[in-house]
Structure 1
Amino acid sequence: MDEDIRKEQRGDEPESAAAENDLDGLNQLDRLDRLDKLDRVNRRTFIRVSALAGMAGAAGAAGIAASGCDSAGEMGGSSGGAGAGGAGGTGGSGSDLASAGGDPDAIAADLRDNVYTRLLGVRPHVGAHEHLSSMGGSRMPAEVMEAMAEANRYFVDMAELHDAAGRRIAEIMGAEAALVSSGAFATMLVGAAGVLTGSDEERMRLLPNPTWPKVECLFQTAHRFFYDNVFGLAGMTLVEAGTRAEYEAAITDRTALLVGLAYIEHQTRGVPPFPVRHRQEHDPETLMPLEIIEIGKRRGVPVMIDLASNLPPKENLTKYLEAGADLVVVSGGKGIRGPNSTGILAGRADLIEAARMQNAPNNGIGRGLKVGKEEIVGLVAALERYVALDEDEEITAWNGKARWLADQLQGIDGLEARYELNTHGYHDVELLWDEAVIPLSREDVGRLLRAGDPKIIYDGPGPRTLQLEDGEVQLVAHRLRELFTTGS
């Protein structure tokens, strides 16, 4: 196999197609290690290796969306018909999921034997869930892995790299400036610190114990979230207001920052997306992010908008900045599909400069929030890819898999599998069942899926398909059908 790679480096072709199949025995880290040992890695070689590893997946996903899908019957039971599920019924028909690529048996075998199981004894799972950091975030595409592997071969001045990456990200997002830190939480920390201190180095040294009065961070109650303590870690004092009038009254000469959450525009609580039919109407007192931006501009207080997980739609990358937000926070993983340990802070040049002075590799409050050179390059590559992709086509592929999966779960006594539009604008499968017929609680189902082979995890009211590769959706269909028909 090494000889074949060397031939490709010289521009020769491998002697036989069978040589390519030798890569099937290598896991992804082994592939990267193999490539890293070479003196030079030809781009064409890496893409061929990555494609064989199943990293790209986009063509297969598009094929599923175009063709429907109908092969899980051979995995364990027929669909039992389509169109059930009331207003959210599955509708549509299907052709052959397997024709789009992805071998369920091979995927199941890989889940049993991989770098996680061999090195650490940890079982990876089929991710029928949102881009959850606690569950591994998202998969990085081939282009991102390639960029990171190439970046690994060189040394670079990290301050210079940070500055260049910030300039490119700002250009893409239409911001005055931007920086990279180690996740959305980290960007909030250095962003809040920058708001507190400006470029005053004496004040920077005092954080997180500021001695000046302008330290308050104002939230409306609806915009509170479970890790907003990050602002307190920076040295801010959190202030909460309920109604619109109370919010305006809470802005004083001590108010340093207003914070808003982008997700408030499409759902009322900070949870993963859920079916729109369950969405509650907003309290008329709830401020929308654009309203908070307007208040901040009118009252002369900087505004930070957190859209960490609100991609798609990709228009959100520029929407809040164009409206006048002073700072915007974006996760580098999740929808962008860059390294999961990266985040972006974009916005006003003076505030980004103040945050940069406190971000790694500088010696401010964010010194420990280090991001590797490979991660920075990977993030920029991922962002470039994200803004160029056809978002409608990608969502159509997710929806095609969800419709197919719902079809496969029809005809099970006591179970309703609904193809439902969710609050983030794509479709999921919602599972509802009569526990008198299927004596399993939601906790039972989650526990049994985690304990099974393969291990499967989903969040919310049912499995999501935005992260399922070809073959994985078949595994999910088979396991769910087995679980709801046998109870185990």
Structure 2
Amino acid sequence: MDEDIREDQRVEEPDSADAESGLDQPAGLDRLDRLDGLGKLDRVNRRTFIKVSALAGMAGAAGAAGIAASGCDSAGEMGGSSGGAGAGGAGGTGGSGSDLASAGGDPNAIAADLRDNVYTRLLGVRPHVGAHEHLSSMGGSRMPAEVMEAMAEANRYFVDMAELHDAAGRRIAEIMGAEAALVSSGAFATMLVGAAGVLTGSDEERMGLLPNPTWPKVECLFQTAHRFFYDNVFGLAGMKLVEAGTRAEYEAAITDRTALLVGLAYIEHQTRGVPPFPVRHRQEHDPETLMPLEIIEIGKRRGVPVMIDLASNLPPKENLTKYLEAGADLVVVSGGKGIRGPNSTGILAGRADLIEAARMQNAPNNGIGRGLKVGKEEIVGLVAALERYVALDEDEEITAWNAKARWLADQLQGIDGLEARYELNTHGYHDVELLWDEAVIPLSREDVDRLLRAGDPKIIYDGPGPRTLQLEEGEVQLVARRLRELFTTGS
């Protein structure tokens, strides 16, 4: 893909009148301190440097400057709703309900930082504005300042890694209401050592035979609807994958060779509200599809351990305990998505004997997971992030995401051929869905993706439109400005 930045895609600097039009920050977002003059390490103390390191990726040299030059609405504010995004309908904003304060971050400063940063200087890699979900392939999430500070402090000391792993596992288990827990290098890694633990128990001789077990009880059963793109991890542990379609076929597939049942939490498509949410794109599942709680019940009834993958199903945070309380033997959680810990961390929580068997094969021990090493800083960062996450006011956080999505949808009204809808997604918060008539706007979705990636700033979104849960103040204005430009000019 051609990543050259065309001259007509560059963000123009605001004139003095624009710079003086100062806008307030969006509701629910903390104001970022002005970071001017912190470009050289020898000019800042350690704590300031840690803070800057944590925040620089969020908003660059964010200051209290205006965005009247952003090309958004004529008022240049993130305040009142235009009511234009299909007001009153399923996709309409219908007014903001309460005024949304405008962004205090300077989008032009953010755009400048995206051109000149540690990634561009060291490696020539262009970072992007992340108008997408928490995606491992796109860097996961942004670690909050307190997580970065905890990691930096952890770096100052040496520690016995076995002791640290054990202590972190105990604390995580306490938070999640599990018998035990461990940390490994991502959700995939926790599945690997979890599956290995199920296969071998605490038998060290069997551990030494993986991934080539010589005993018959090695089958991992999936219902077809619960297959996912990296379930090959179970084969890597030494399991044989078995797939069944209907409920009856699933029950019949459980034999004395079945070692593990695996369920995917995402199948539920629900959050704290009573399902189903009134979401236009919600997929109605075949009545033959088992829900995760049903798989747990089957496992308990048939005496087969159950692993539930809820890697990215946060929010809601009650998912941290929901499946364990229902009787799941193992639960997998990504550390670098909703929890906002290091992207290279994951949690396995559940039954004490299975966690112990998995621990014996997890780094720093010499089992099949020896290469899945997690640094002391990452372990501390994950625990700090989890402590922060469970203390959050989730409703307040979602309200802030929704406010940004509503504002963004409003900024994209009035473009011939484009419909920008403020749309409730299957996770219980709102995104902006973009629909356009290609006869009026001759761009395919692939064209839009390519042009956004090639532009300045580089922007990436996933799904039917931009998501705002990871957009900081100033970034949402950059997204609005670039999308208006793209759908108005075609480039």
Q: What's the TM-score bracket when you normalise by the shorter of the two chains?
A: 0.7 to 0.9
Which residue does 1:19 correspond to in 2? 19
Residue 281 and residue 241 in structure 1: after superposition, are their counterparts in 2 closer, same or farther (change >3 A)?
same
Among 321, 326, 329, which residue is 1:323 paired with? 326
* TM-score when normalising by structure 1: 0.85
Residue 443 and residue 35 in structure 1: after superposition, are their counterparts in 2 closer, same or farther (change >3 A)?
closer
* Most deviating of 41-50 and 474-483: 41-50
Offset, 1:467: 0.3
Residue 385 and residue 75 in structure 1: after superposition, are their counterparts in 2 closer, same or farther (change >3 A)?
closer
Which residue does 2:382 correspond to in 1? 379
Offset, 1:330: 0.1
Residue 88 and residue 33 in structure 1: after superposition, are their counterparts in 2 closer, same or farther (change >3 A)?
closer
Secondary structure of 2:37's counterpart equals helix
Which residue does 1:231 correspond to in 2? 234
Q: How far apart in 2 are the matches of 1:483 and 1:175?
A: 49
Listed one character per residue, the Cα deviations across residues 300-354 of structure 1 (whole Å, up to 9, x for unaligned) are 0000000000000000000000000000000001000000000000000000000
Secondary structure of 1:62's counterpart equals coil
Offset, 1:276: 2.2
Offset, 1:78: 12
Listed one character per residue, the Cα deviations across residues 378-408 of structure 1 (whole Å, up to 9, x for unaligned) are 0000000000000000000000000000000
Listed one character per residue, the Cα deviations across residues 238-285 of structure 1 (whole Å, up to 9, x for unaligned) are 000001111000000000000000010117999999992122211111
CA contact (8 A) 2:21 2:67 kept: no
Residue 138 and residue 405 in structure 1: after superposition, are their counterparts in 2 closer, same or farther (change >3 A)?
same
CA contact (8 A) 1:357 1:364 kept: yes
CA contact (8 A) 2:18 2:68 kept: no
Alpha-carbon RMSD: 8.7
Residue 313 and residue 246 in structure 1: after superposition, are their counterparts in 2 closer, same or farther (change >3 A)?
same
CA contact (8 A) 1:65 1:400 kept: no
Q: How far apart in 1 are the matches of 2:2 and 2:362?
A: 42
Q: How far apart in 1 are the matches of 2:372 and 2:241?
A: 23
Residue 39 and residue 316 in structure 1: after superposition, are their counterparts in 2 closer, same or farther (change >3 A)?
farther
Q: How far apart in 1 are the matches of 2:434 and 2:193?
A: 41
Residue 56 and residue 172 in structure 1: after superposition, are their counterparts in 2 closer, same or farther (change >3 A)?
farther
Listed one character per residue, the Cα deviations across residues 391-448 of structure 1 (whole Å, up to 9, x for unaligned) are 0000000000000000000000000000000011100000000011111111110000
Q: How far apart in 2 are the matches of 1:216 and 1:348?
A: 20
Secondary structure of 2:262's counterpart equals strand
Which residue does 1:116 correspond to in 2? 119
- Of all paired residues, the percent bearing the same amino acid is 96
Residue 160 and residue 72 in structure 1: after superposition, are their counterparts in 2 closer, same or farther (change >3 A)?
farther
Q: How far apart in 2 are the matches of 1:241 and 1:61?
A: 57
Corresponding residue pairs, total: 488
* Most deviating of 457-466 and 28-37: 28-37
Residue 68 and residue 315 in structure 1: after superposition, are their counterparts in 2 closer, same or farther (change >3 A)?
farther
CA contact (8 A) 1:65 1:399 kept: no
Residue 23 and residue 231 in structure 1: after superposition, are their counterparts in 2 closer, same or farther (change >3 A)?
farther
Q: How far apart in 1 are the matches of 2:61 and 2:310?
A: 25
Offset, 1:21: 20
Secondary structure of 1:179's counterpart equals strand
Q: Which has the higher helix share?
A: 1
Offset, 1:89: 1.1
Q: How far apart in 1 are the matches of 2:253 and 2:59?
A: 50
Residue 196 and residue 416 in structure 1: after superposition, are their counterparts in 2 closer, same or farther (change >3 A)?
same
Residue 330 and residue 474 in structure 1: after superposition, are their counterparts in 2 closer, same or farther (change >3 A)?
same
Q: How far apart in 1 are the matches of 2:230 and 2:4?
A: 50
CA contact (8 A) 2:84 2:92 kept: no
* Most deviating of 70-79 and 151-160: 70-79
CA contact (8 A) 2:84 2:94 kept: no
Alignment gaps of 5+ in structure 2: none
Q: How far apart in 2 are the matches of 1:268 and 1:182?
A: 27
Residue 441 and residue 270 in structure 1: after superposition, are their counterparts in 2 closer, same or farther (change >3 A)?
farther
CA contact (8 A) 1:190 1:234 kept: yes
Residue 82 and residue 2 in structure 1: after superposition, are their counterparts in 2 closer, same or farther (change >3 A)?
closer
Residue 27 and residue 266 in structure 1: after superposition, are their counterparts in 2 closer, same or farther (change >3 A)?
closer
Listed one character per residue, the Cα deviations across residues 49-95 of structure 1 (whole Å, up to 9, x for unaligned) are 56874759999999999999967748999979454594211221599
CA contact (8 A) 2:92 2:421 kept: yes
Residue 408 and residue 34 in structure 1: after superposition, are their counterparts in 2 closer, same or farther (change >3 A)?
closer
Listed one character per residue, the Cα deviations across residues 362-390 of structure 1 (whole Å, up to 9, x for unaligned) are 00000000000000000000000000000
Residue 218 and residue 370 in structure 1: after superposition, are their counterparts in 2 closer, same or farther (change >3 A)?
same
* TM-score when normalising by structure 2: 0.85
